[in-house]
Structure 1
């Protein structure tokens, strides 16, 4: 009932034209070459497809488009990074936009060039540090024989790495970001207080394959001992959004082929709200970000015009 109430409140706000912001969810569909798709919401719980694709990726060895991460930087520019290959690649894709409809030409960022045995660069995720005016990008890579193998094969023993950039032209050398002692992928940073940050990530080891959190006083860490898992097995691609006083963590249940979600106030106690959220069919790993409502309205109008064209 709480979430039905939120939806009704959102509809009332829309009708009174007092809504000032909306939520967007970047995503993709199978097959993976098409490009950026978006879902939109006014309450953060109920999502509708906004169509797409909005860009033409076409970079990297495999030229796929997976795991899009979008963040708004200074001057109203949106920046996006994505996975562009499964294996035998050392970079990710990048593009920018002012309206989320028209994008710059896709670029390839070979971020792991200094590590020649790198197998992959998966799920790059953007965080904007407004304090330092830096963009932090984290991703998962496997460098065989770099870490104790544990449960995973040498070609599947991931750790999280990061780089920092101010302009997406010059990038700091890739460095190790997070090593909890086992294989991890799909990390995302979220600021929860003036000096507190949470890292939400997938424990990629057998038999876990679930989502956990860790805390730090700096966006680049170090991050403390990870929590126990709060998602079912076979969950990945977490993304976080703050709605009122609560934080929602969405994650893809890739075997069940659906999304799950939990609600928390402190990232220590989690309530499963998977049955209270709605996402478009086929929604895949991406990120949630807030936008001005005017941006959302333009996307709705663009979608309506595209549908007329068909």
Structure 2
């Protein structure tokens, strides 16, 4: 969540930590041990909203993506929302997903559409879901009774010592700076006992909590456009102490800590403090160290135009069922191997690689269709100009209208091979000039003979989303 300068705009200085004013429903005991029942988690789900450079892709509905490694993501439903808020502001930011103790999911999100940071709300959006294929019980949930302040970036956790869920969110305290609050609930329908969870004496937002790692709980948050961690051996409000080395890539917010399901690695996702939204990832082998190393961008790919995500593990069956319900994208994007911040796109109908993000973003979306000259090969059909295909002309690549000739078909047909620089990636050999491959040179795309290490890297791409 983008924050604002403390004290700017209408007064938001309100007292936090007041007595509970929202009664807690008596719903009986909760089912425990759901974490053990899902020990077979082998994939991940991500929730997010979308924005892009010119806001062409500004969409404040709930978006969903899946991943098998927690690093490379496949947006579902063609990167369109799977459900859209209709209450409150009529849009969401900062969605979060969690598996509850009974094995079902709850989705929380900030009640805010767009970028009007002056708008205040005591509510958040809530959905229930058994499987992330259907979303039911949509409602606004009141977190506190304070006036003239917000309820940003809600996240939840299970507090076993209380037998309650805690909902963390960012609001402004009596000194005029953001703190991380907590309100408690049994059912995500009513809350009680709103109070300050973490206030280090300076502006903090976007709290992300990892519970019970070797007896320690870790809270990551945004401070001065950097990501910082605090820790505590309890979940008692006020018990967390900052300890980690700050990380950032430019202005960074929205920390999300994710455990690898196949190794001892932890990943810290952060979102750039801009409307276009670029995620960066840091890696650590030990949360207790408080140190993180930036991960090579070759190793991860965010969903197209995604902003402020929430990530949660799911089972292989849930992964398969989500794909069956929402479908894989009908398009791909191609990431450069040696310039992994850049993607293949057309600009002025000329093929090139440019740094993500950019608008019009559909310039980088391609349908990999059977080759026009050989159906065992492929052709790259433009998504936003579907009568045009990527083809070579005088060895330079451009996006031209298919004129139906055999010459055009040959120019627009390529054989996909193992990546010349990395066999897990891909390279593309020309159909009618079989000694030449698609590569970039000074960011422009062309077909050339490939021999050197640099040329092999130039000619290697990741086919993803």
TM range, normalised to the smaller chain? Answer: 0.7 to 0.9
CA distance in structure 1 between the aligned counterparts of 2:82 and 2:241, rounded to whole angstroms: 38
2:268 matches 1:249: yes
Matches within 5 A, 1:139-288: 139-143=169-173, 146-147=174-175, 154=176, 157-203=177-223, 208-221=224-237, 222-243=239-260, 244-255=263-274, 257-267=277-287, 268-275=290-297, 276-288=299-311
User: TM-score by structure 2 length?
Assistant: 0.55
Q: Any conservation in 2 of the 1:32–1:66 contact (CA below 8 Å)?
A: no
* Structure 1: tracts of 5 or more residues without a match: 1-18, 148-153
Segment of structure 1 superposing worse, 267-276 or 157-166: 267-276
Matches within 5 A, 1:50-65: 50-51=76-77, 52-60=80-88, 62-65=89-92
Q: Which structure carries more helix by proportion?
A: 1
Aligned to 1:97: 129
CA distance in structure 2 between the aligned counterparts of 1:262 and 1:139, rounded to whole angstroms: 23
Q: Any conservation in 1 of the 2:74–2:328 contact (CA below 8 Å)?
A: no
Aligned to 1:27: 48
Deviations 1:209-243 (A, max 9, x none): 11100011123441013433122341011111111
Structure 1 pair 131–301 and aligned structure 2 pair: CA distance change class (3 A): farther
Segment of structure 1 superposing worse, 211-220 or 29-38: 29-38
CA distance in structure 2 between the aligned counterparts of 1:130 and 1:101, rounded to whole angstroms: 28
Deviations 1:169-190 (A, max 9, x none): 3312210011011000000100
Q: Any conservation in 2 of the 1:33–1:63 contact (CA below 8 Å)?
A: no
2:189 matches 1:122: no
User: TM-score by structure 1 length?
Assistant: 0.81
1:131 offset after TM fit, Å? 5.6
Structure 1 pair 257–32 and aligned structure 2 pair: CA distance change class (3 A): closer
Q: Would you say how many aligned residue pairs link Structure 1 and Structure 2?
A: 272
Structure 1 pair 299–165 and aligned structure 2 pair: CA distance change class (3 A): same
Segment of structure 1 superposing worse, 290-299 or 101-110: 101-110
Aligned to 2:111: 84
Q: Any conservation in 2 of the 1:263–1:270 contact (CA below 8 Å)?
A: yes
Higher RCO (Cα < 8 Å, 6 or more apart) = 1
Superposed CA RMSD: 2.1
Q: Which structure carries more strand by proportion?
A: 2
Structure 1 pair 25–77 and aligned structure 2 pair: CA distance change class (3 A): same
Larger Rg belongs to: 2
Structure 1 pair 194–228 and aligned structure 2 pair: CA distance change class (3 A): closer
